[in-house]
Chains A and B, each alone.
Chain A
Amino acid sequence: MSNTAWEALSNQAVGAAGIVYFLALIVLIAEWATHRQVVVAETARATEGARGGVALAVRTGGDGSGVDVDAGAKERRSEFLGRLGLLLTALAAAVHFVALLGRGMAADPNRVPWGNMYEFTISGTFIVALIYLVLVRKYSLEWMAPLVVAFVVTTMMVGVIWLHAPVAPLTEALNSYWLVIHVVSAVIATGGFTIGGILSIVYLVKQRRGGDAGAPPGSRIPSLAVLDRTAYRVHSFAFPVWTFAVLITGPIWAHEAWSRYWNWDPKEVWAFITWVVYAAYLHARATAGWKGRNAAILACVGLATLWFNFIGINYFSTSSQHSYAGGELHSVVVSSDASPGPADL
């Protein structure tokens, strides 16, 4: 296959993955809705029962079993839709992976598909989907599927519409295996932090809505304690990976390419800020008075700094290219791309 064929394949796969994710989202929302009905039916039965055995006993058996069949069917339908939704998500993720593969094969020489923001976006969203699919059973995250899929499909479409760029070879400085390790770990950590951040956001929303007591009975969202614990576990997976990406492989690569392992340039500064905020999050979870709500807020702050670093900083630093200082000369060799790519992500 030629490079252009691979590139076309990649573009089509991105489109196809987008469509399948979208279908998955619809199914998952439908599931959510049926679940609601089941809950309503169950509560109705529960309250009926509570009103007194007399009423129930008086009823004819036929009537009662009718209710049962109905609720049972709904429950089965809900379960079926849930499975289908996850299956579609997995299918979409597989197509998504083909898109990444195509992108890598289209470049000459073949390389990891992380040369620019478009590629970083589609890789990042793939990792979010993948991490979710890996964790869904382990942490019983089925309830989260619509949120994750909605995030993935939206971010992916933003990438396609605004960030799309044709395949280009990596500039020399990006041509380093340290970069591969660095970017892979940064993308994985970003995926993890994103899932953790969604959990923390749900925590905060649920808490505002009155916490466990205020939730409608049978609501699928787990209790605050479980949300908090799961968020912590996901974050505590992502944090060491981020440490590895930002404080080990990043500096090693920077040292080889730019001669300075840490230069306080805006990208590094924000990666450091993200790291410090998440360290504070981990501390907060172990500190009386900061547990729970404040920790969740810190997790959201961390997520904001993370995405700001990826999106915001790139636009920041392109605005100041007309300098004749040595510093700017770097860009000539090191990133001929006008916007610093994920090279220094």
Chain B
Amino acid sequence: MTDVQDRPEAPAADRRRAGELGPRELARWSWRQLTSMRTALVLLLLLALAAVPGSIIPQEGVDALKVSQWKADHPGLTPVYERLGLFSVYDSAWFSAIYLLLMVSLVGCIIPRTFHYVRAIRAEPPVAPRNLSRLPDHTSYATDASVEEVLDRARLVLGRRRYRLRLDQDDAVSAEKGYLREVGNLLFHLSVIVVLVGFAYGSVFGYQGGVIVMVDGPPFSNTAASYDDFDPGSGFGADDLDPFSFTVDDFDITWLTKGSGAGTAREFKAAMTYREGTDGEEKTYDLRVNHPLSIGNTDVFLIGHGYAPRITVRDGQGTVIYDGPTVFLPQDPSFLSFGVVKAAGGLSADGTKTQVGLEGLLYPTFYLADNGTAVRTPATLFPALGNPLISMSVYTGDLGLDDGVPQSVYLLDTTKATQVLKPDGKPLRLDLSEGETAQLPDGLGSVTFDGVQPWVRVQISQSPGKRVALAGVVLALIGLCGSLFLRPRRVWVRARRREGDEGDGEGDTMVEVALLDRSGGADLSDVLDEIVSELQKEPR
């Protein structure tokens, strides 16, 4: 395996003076550097180092909103970070450069080694070295058996241990095994490339999208415009979307009500009806966490759920200016949820144009916690809908709804708006239970809390190449085990006749045994002892 580094010097390293490399030599020299084991090692370390920033700085591909928050908090650093690609490290030029270099190095390393290996696998074990006692693991003993007997015995013992033998020496036996280690190693390195190809293919030709679907609401049909967020790979075209549509008819949660786990959910089930193509047959499926639905090449996953209070806002004239379920986002495992309502285009009682904004919380099972003080804290007792209550602040004035500037539906821009106050000058808060209506002051209108509708969040994606990547890692693992656990070994046994001391012709046979582990990871003395004791046993 060290053959890679110890390749012989380039033939006839040219009779030029040193330092006078021609372009061909330079290219050859660079190639040799790039494909050296040391370079691979350094590149691996660089890759590890380069992966670090992406785990500290928010990443576009992981959490786009966190990225925009970060940018807002650090206006000075943002342009620098953007230039360096630090918001999408894993697609950045410098990260790609490292792993592409590694791949080139890998290919450049595998190809010559494959040829080398093919030659090696056909070769016989090498002739026994002249002096076996020079090898670190060796031993010798004397026996009465003849040289032929010893060598025959050695061939038998080593053959039984699955060593490949070399038969053309009359004073020695050479044996070798563990050829498959190298195969394992090559398989591993090749598979690394397969994994990368599969992974890259998936990120170029796949896509990811997420959407919140109202339970018992309108159908979702699979077009790019239907998604809340849509993140296609660069090679993914909108017409690659599988045509299908579905509705979520029912959503069931089993909540634990007892024990230390009370308030956590055990099981989620979204009953859906879907249709492949535009006029496919209607089918039903219970979408559950860990049990995605596959339609064509597309997978649909259930990844979240929450509540959407149905809120109706009427203006001062009594006209409905906002109506319907509004997605509130859960803030914590208690499902205390936050959301906003933006109602524009209304007229107040005196006929002036107004906008009304609501911002606040939904308590699924509202209660007032008694914490021993005069002021009791509003809280939610349980994440299921026991006693839903919304508690909203009210804003009016310019909410920026007419500027045509796109806004997040989850945030209210109150910079130019005014908060509606109670007559005593404190901020007004609407606390509404299901079915209740509150009148707003100053003829602004009224707000009604009609009820709550659940929603589910589904993630929809195509990840082509995932099977290739999976097959790649599995092969890599197999190769890795071969490369780590197979031990390439060479054994040499040499027998020599010694004349007796007193010249009585009695003499004996001197046997030398040496063992070499080419992977350098083993303690050989046990193996050597075993082989020797088998050699010394009387043949049966």
Say yes or no: A323-B411 contact (C-beta < 8 A), given A233-B521, A258-B459, A280-B41.
no
Query: Which B residues are CB-close (under 8 A) to A261?
Result: 463, 466, 469
B47 touches A276 (CB 8 A): yes
Closest Cβ–Cβ distance, residue B156 to chain A (whole Å):
29
Q: Is there contact, CB below 8 Å, between A175 and B59?
A: no
> A263 near B62 (CB under 8 angstroms)?
yes
**When chains A and B are docked, how far (Å) is the Cα of A200 from the Cα of B255?**
49
Bound-complex Cα distance A25 to B454 (A): 56
Say yes or no: B292 contacts A256, CB within 8 Å: yes
Please state if B521 and A169 are interface contacts (CB–CB under 8 Å): no
Q: Find B303's partner among A168, A259, A286, A325 (CB 8 Å cutoff).
A: A259
The answer to whether A201 has its CB under 8 Å from any CB of chain B is no
> Which residues on the B side are within 8 Å of A3 (C-beta)?
259
Quick check: is A324 within 8 A (CB to CB) of the other chain? yes
| CB atoms of B2 and A286 under 8 A apart | yes
Please determine whether A286 and B264 come into contact, CB atoms closer than 8 angstroms: no
Q: Given known contacts A247-B473, A332-B330, is B292 in contact with A167 (CB within 8 Å)? A: no
Closest residue of chain A to B479 (Cβ to Cβ) is: A240
Cβ-neighbour of B333 out of A256, A272, A282, A332 (below 8 A): A332
Cβ B301 vs Cβ A173 within 8 A: no
**Complex contacts, A247 vs chain B, CB 8 Å:** 195, 473, 476-477
Contact A289 to B90, CB < 8 A, known contacts A266-B55, A325-B65, A328-B63 = no
Give chain A residues whose Cβ lies under 8 Å from the Cβ of B332: 338
A260 touches B461 (CB 8 A): yes
* A290 interfacial by beta-carbon distance below 8 Å: yes
State the Cβ distance, A326 to closest chain B Cβ, in Å.
5
With A168-B264, A324-B410 in contact, is A252–B470 under 8 Å at CB? yes
- Of residues B89, B267, B459, which shows the largest number of chain A Cβ atoms within 10 Å of its Cβ? B459
Contact B265 A171 (CB under 8 A): yes
In the assembled complex, which residues on chain B have CB atoms less than 8 Å from the CB atom of A243?
473, 476-477, 480
Are A273's CB and B51's CB within 8 A?
Answer: yes
Cβ contact within 8 Å between A333 and B303: yes
Chain B residues numbered 175-198 whose CB sits less than 8 Å from any CB in chain A: 195
Name the distance in Å between A167's Cβ and chain B's nearest Cβ.
6
* Residue from the list A171, A259, A332 in contact with B292, Cβ < 8 A: A259
Instruction: Compute how far the CA of A277 lies from the CA of B463 in the bound complex, rounded to whole angstroms.
Output: 28
**Closest A residue to B102 using CB positions:** A276
Task: Say whether B48 faces chain A, with CB atoms less than 8 Å apart.
Answer: yes
Report Cα–Cα, A332/B330, bound state, in Å. Answer: 7
Q: Check A286/B1 contact, CB under 8 A, given A232-B521, A264-B61, A329-B330.
A: yes
Say whether B290 contacts A257, CB under 8 Å: yes
From A172, A229, A283, B290 is in contact (CB under 8 Å) with A172
Given known contacts A256-B291, A325-B64, is B264 in contact with A332 (CB within 8 Å)? no
How close is B55's CB to chain A, nearest CB, in angstroms?
Answer: 4
Contact call A323/B66, Cβ cutoff below 8 A: yes
Binary contact readout B255-285 vs A (1 if CB under 8 angstroms, 0 otherwise): 0100111001111100000000000000000
In the complex, chain A residues 304-336 whose Cβ is within 8 Å of any chain B Cβ: 305, 313, 316, 320, 323-330, 332-334, 336
B302 touches A276 (CB 8 A): no
How does the 8 Å CB contact mask read for A165-206 relative to B, with 1 for contact and 0 for none? 011110111011000000000000000000000000000000
With A258-B303, A273-B52, A332-B306 known to touch, is A283 a contact of B228 (CB < 8 Å)? Answer: no
Closest chain A CB from B515 CB (angstroms): 15
Residues of B within 8 A of A270 (CB): 55
Q: Is A287 an interface residue (CB 8 A)?
A: yes
Which single member of A233, A239, A286 contacts B480 (CB below 8 Å)? A239
- Which residues of A in the span 226-252 have a Cβ within 8 Å of any Cβ on B? 226, 229, 232-233, 236, 239-240, 243-244, 247-248, 251-252
Are A333 and B44 also in contact (CB < 8 A) when A239-B484, A252-B470, A259-B208 are? no
CB closest chain-A residue, reference B333:
A336
In the bound assembly, the distance between CA atoms of A273 and B485 in angstroms comes to 24
A262 on the B face (CB < 8 A) = yes
Q: Mark B217-234, 1 if CB is under 8 A from A, else 0.
A: 000000000001100000
Given contacts A259-B459, A260-B461, A320-B66, contact A172 B61 (CB under 8 A): no
Contact B38–A287 (Cβ < 8 Å): yes
Residues B303 and A330 in contact, CB atoms below 8 Å apart: yes
**Given A172-B265, A323-B66 in contact, is the A334-B55 Cβ separation under 8 Å?**
no
| Cβ contact within 8 Å between B261 and A283 | no
Interface band, chain A:
35 or more
Q: Is B243 an interface residue (CB 8 A)?
A: no
CB contacts (< 8 Å) of B37 on chain A: these are 283, 286-287
Q: Is the CB of B289 within 8 A of A257?
A: yes
Residues of B within 8 A of A176 (CB): 290
Is the Cβ of B256 less than 8 Å from the Cβ of A323? no
**CB-based contact B199/A269 at 8 Å:** no
> Which of B256, B303, B411 is the one whose CB lies under 8 Å from A334?
B303
Interchain CA distance A265-B335 in the complex, whole Å: 24
CB distance from B16 to the nearest CB of A (A): 28
Q: How far is A261 from B206 in the complex, measured between Cα atoms in Å?
A: 12
Decide if A273 touches B306 in the complex (CB within 8 Å). Answer: no
User: When each residue 19-52 of chain B gets 1 if its CB lies under 8 Å from chain A and 0 otherwise, what string results?
Assistant: 0000000000000000001101100110110011
Q: Are B55 and A313 in contact (CB-based, < 8 A)?
A: yes
> Which A residues touch B460, using CB under 8 A?
259
Please pick, from A229, A290, A334, the residue contacting B41 in the complex, using a CB distance under 8 A: A290
Nearest CB of A to B77, in Å: 17
Q: Is A330 in contact with B461, judged by CB distance below 8 angstroms?
A: no
Interface assignment of A48: CB less than 8 Å from any CB of chain B: no
How far, in Å, is A262 (CB) from chain B's closest CB? Answer: 7
Residues of A within 8 A of B410 (CB): 324
Which residues of B from 50 to 95 have beta carbons under 8 Å from A?
51-52, 54-56, 58-59, 61-66, 69, 89-90
Complex contact B259–A108 (CB within 8 A): yes
Task: Indicate which residue in B63, B66, B521 contacts A229 across the interface (CB closer than 8 Å).
Answer: B521
B316 within 8 A of A: no
| Partner pick for B470 among A248, A259, A290, A316, CB 8 A cutoff | A248
How far is B376's CA from A259's CA once the two chains are assembled, in angstroms? 42
B407 contacts chain A at the CB level, 8 A cutoff = no
B369 within 8 A of A: no
Q: Tell me which residues across on chain A come within 8 A of B210, comparing CB atoms.
A: 326
Tell me if B304 is interfacial: C-beta within 8 Å of chain A: yes
Besides A269-B52, A287-B37, A328-B63, 7 new A-B residue pairs in contact (Cβ under 8 A), listed by A number: A256-B290, A266-B55, A305-B48, A325-B66, A326-B210, A329-B457, A338-B332
Q: List 11 A-B contacts (CB under 8 A).
A: A167-B260, A244-B477, A261-B466, A269-B54, A269-B55, A276-B45, A286-B520, A324-B338, A327-B64, A329-B304, A336-B333
Interface residues of A (CB under 8 A from B): 3, 108, 166-169, 171-173, 175-176, 226, 229, 232-233, 236, 239-240, 243-244, 247-248, 251-252, 255-266, 269-270, 272-273, 276-277, 279-280, 282-290, 305, 313, 316, 320, 323-330, 332-334, 336-338
B: which residues have CB within 8 A of A? Answer: 1-2, 5, 37-38, 40-41, 44-45, 47-48, 51-52, 54-56, 58-59, 61-66, 69, 89-90, 195, 199, 208, 210, 228-229, 256, 259-261, 264-268, 288-292, 299, 301-306, 329-330, 332-333, 335, 338, 408, 410-411, 457, 459-461, 463, 466, 469-470, 473-474, 476-477, 480-481, 484-485, 520-523
